Amino acid sequence: MQMTETEMMLKGYGLTTAELYYRMPDYTHVLNTFIWQDYDLAPDHPKLFEFIGFWQEEIDGPLHSVRFAHRKMISPGEWQNSVGEFRVH
């Protein structure tokens, strides 16, 4: 069973966005980009490196470079369950 996004964020996952620069075999002088985004764990980024490994093994376009950013959406200390009722007359 897969975790929900909220469960992932509470376990320390953050949103990782990577911009991959690559060249097509037929047009080596043209630099292309591909955007990849998923929830991942910093600082090791296992999902990102798994995707890069997949790219290098299965995709014909060799990677030129990769830029990425990671943003932790919430942390366990910031989340707080509140139960209440507001009446508006």
Q: Which residue has the higher pLDDT, 86 or 60?
A: 60
pLDDT digits (tens, 9 = 90+) for 15-40: 899 999 999 889 889 999 999 999 99
User: What does the pLDDT read at residue 1?
Assistant: 78
- Residue 89: pLDDT over 60: no
> How much is the average pLDDT of 60-68?
91
| Phi and psi torsions of 21, nearest 5° | -105, 130
User: What does the pLDDT read at residue 13?
Assistant: 87
Q: Where would I find the beta strands (DSSP E) of the chain? A: 14-24, 27-40, 63-71
pLDDT digits (tens, 9 = 90+) for 41-52: 988 999 999 999
Beta-ladder partners of 32? 22
Cβ(74)–Cβ(10) below 8 Å: yes
Alpha-carbon distance values, 34 to 8, 25, 29, 72, 82 (Å): 25, 16, 17, 22, 40
